Amino acid sequence: MRIKFLLAALLCSVIGFSQSINDYKAVIVPVKYDFIKVENQYRLATLTKSNLLKAGFKAYYANEQLPPELIDRCELLYIDVKKDNGFLVTKLFAEFKDCFGKLIYTSEIGKSKEKDYETAYREALEGAFKSIYDLHYAYSGKAPVGGSKIAMTTAPSATPAVTMAPVAAVSAPAANVNDPNLLYAQPTENGFQLIDKTPKVIMKLLKTSRPDSFIAIKDGVQGTLNAKDNQWFFEYYQNDKLVSEKVSVKF
DSSP 30: -
The answer on pLDDT for 242 being more than 80 is yes
pLDDT over 70 percentage in the chain: 80
Cα gap 2→9, rounded to integer Å: 10
Give the confidence band of 180 by pLDDT, cuts at 50, 70, 90: confident
For residue 192, give the amino acid letter: F
Give the confidence band of 170 by pLDDT, cuts at 50, 70, 90: low
Cα gap 124→129, rounded to integer Å: 9
pLDDT in tens, 65-89: 888 888 788 889 999 999 998 889 9
Q: Are 227 and 213 in contact (CB under 8 A)?
A: yes
Q: Going from the N-terminus, what domains does the chain have, and what CATH number goes with each?
A: 2-133 (3.40.50), 164-250 (no CATH)
- Cα Rg of the chain, angstroms: 20
**Closest Cα partner for 206 from 197, 198, 218, 196?**
218
Distances (CA, A) of 103 to 54, 79, 225: 22, 10, 30
Distances (CA, A) of 80 to 30, 34, 61, 62, 94: 7, 9, 12, 11, 6
Cα gap 3→239, rounded to integer Å: 51
Q: List, in sequence order, the alpha helices (H) in the chain.
A: 2-20, 44-54, 117-133, 148-151
pLDDT in tens, 20-65: 788 899 999 988 999 999 989 999 999 999 999 999 999 999 888 8
pLDDT in tens, 112-146: 999 999 999 999 999 999 999 999 999 988 766 54
Residues in CB range of 207: below 8 A, 6 or more apart: 190, 191, 214
